[in-house]
Amino acid sequence: MIEVRPNGATAIWSAFDGGFLRRVRKSSIVFGLVLSVPLASSFGWAAAVAWIAGAGWSLVNLAATASVVRKVVTLEPRDRASIAKSLAIKFPLLYAIGIGFLAAGLPAAWVLAGFAWPLFVAVLKAAGRSYLRLDEPSRQGSTRVLS
């Protein structure tokens, strides 16, 4: 007997589920705000505001992307009109927000650093889950010692 997955939805969402995104969002917000304090004292308030704005922009982008992916990668019939509407709103809105940050005079380097922050947190969380083998099925009778 050969086990076959009906599509990639199960494989994708087993590693990239809503719980993972929620943990990334919470960690990004908490540690991003904590890091904004030393940024403000070392580089000024403009850098800290740009950092926070970029991180917020990235979190909105991550939520919008996850929403589009949920609509596309599904076992149910896809609502093409809803997908097209989501994409038509997502891209122009996010680009307009980015242009607004630059027009407001926020330092572009700090906006981009803030934008990369949630992605960095997601990579670290995924690496931690992989290292601790949290996504592997548990085996009966086997124990693992973490050191």
Which of 125, 113, 132, 3 lies closest to 58, judged by CA? 113
Residue 7: its pLDDT value, please?
Answer: 46
Nearest to 67 by CA among 53, 51, 86: 86
Give the C-alpha separation, 27 to 121, whole Å.
Answer: 7
Domain ranges of the chain: 18-128
**Residue 9 and residue 47: Cα distance in Å, rounded?**
40
Q: What is the pLDDT of residue 8?
A: 46
Give the three-class secondary structure for 104.
coil
Dihedral pair phi/psi, residue 122, rounded to 5° = -65, -40
pLDDT at 137: 65
Distance, CA of 14 to CA of 35 (rounded, Å): 31
Q: Can you give the pTM of this predicted structure?
A: 0.75
What pLDDT does 54 receive? 96
pLDDT tens across the length of the chain (147 residues): 554 444 444 544 555 567 888 999 999 999 999 999 999 999 999 999 999 999 999 999 988 888 888 888 878 888 888 888 888 888 898 889 999 999 999 999 999 999 999 999 999 988 888 888 776 666 555 555 555
Q: List Cβ neighbours of 110 (8 Å cut-off, separation of 6 or more).
A: 39, 43, 46, 47, 48, 50, 51, 54
Q: pLDDT value at position 77?
A: 85
